[in-house]
Chains A and B, each alone.
Chain A
């Protein structure tokens, strides 16, 4: 199994009046609440934490893109990645660029190519649509999001793989001269990852292209359904999915004892799921962001991520997060790996309002006492059928 360290760069210094309200932490939470001086300290600390993953032997680190929110301070994942290139030796996964939100997808093609060339081919390129709230942030028509995503993706990949210049005449982008300088070092192009919460369309799209599919923020049943769906889609597309192509991203907290780990994690999971993710349903899922069928299901549901309060204990029990002693985390991850068959694990060790010392201890315990035992599981080259499709 290969290991990545993910960082959300949350902004924890929110006033009590916001925390105890039902107000959205996205789009409209005033940036007057962002203190640039505290922000400076945070960025320094968070960048050190990302470098720490690399120093502790993780295969790579993950950064992401979010806008107008205290949930994460990385509106540009490529800027974050650029800062980390000279300070790290492993992979840097940009998870991902929200390509439909860009006016011009070629800017992403250029930036990722730059990062790939400068880093000596260490970049993993994630592509995402951006979450629904971000269509409010940029006042961008959510009903065209999926189309723009597919077209921007096709354009970027072609620009990386076919010598330019060529003309692109699509529905959303019309370019007379596609010819990005530089082009990527990795051939035919950097690995593509596709993070998602399990939409059937995305699972199939990623499987068809042999992209690493990364499941985020889900209970175990959903993770299993998505991974089974991916393996099935891969078979439909004529191949057996290797475990590497299945990624699981989840908040992780390791401490000396289970009791301590769960108690300390609970505070920050509560902060993450109930304060930082909080927003109204119609902001989370603007009209047309989801297909009509998914929207009917999601919007009619009484409960949901970000839109209803979630109990941290339940989050841990249902597999939204993993907390425990090194022994427990090792055991549970081994069980989950056998059950779910993933070969890429992306731990979110910094979440909520977790302090620096707790982060370092958790990552150290994980790297020293969990990771080594799990490395042989789902080693590269394993066939993907390690995970039989039986109820676990």
Chain B
């Protein structure tokens, strides 16, 4: 089975130097759980960050050369079309650039393959791929689908293999010219990022420290119901009814 990992021209989030994105390395590790051949694919002007993934278990990296500002999608579709893999994996966002997370979806649409986001575990049985998807609040969802497919990887997936210099030196990079395609879209102005305060439950402006602490720790609604020294059975019934009313506990199954 062949798997292909899409690699972005990522930058380290702190130092800003070229380095493979953490979720893309996790995608390499996840691909190794079921594929014996894991290749990388990058379309862009520079493959230095993608080259770093060679030491984390990538056999071969294909670099489609583009000039800066080109749309990588046609080059990726062409590269996948020449030697179609069974599985394409990607991170949820690129490690640099606009970071919209749209490319895996556009690629799946262009190829006509199904896509599942936020995978944490993969398995294949009889040509059917089983994906465990991570949802918020610790929920998991199981997808079963026919190959080929596009999968994006969640940060909760198994950790990436550590870097090995020998493997990195052995890995080969194939350079091929890509398909130039200009990005057409509405003009977007760019400027240095300015952090904005996140919305919090705040006291009125100019309130003292005690009021701000109270606003941060206490509920905004009216005081709740208080039962003083009830019999334990009545207390248990009240708690269960309250938990069911707020939808935390499933309703009791009757019959």
Bound pair (A, B): no
Chain B contacts to A: CB under 8 angstroms? none
Chain A contacts to B: CB under 8 angstroms? none
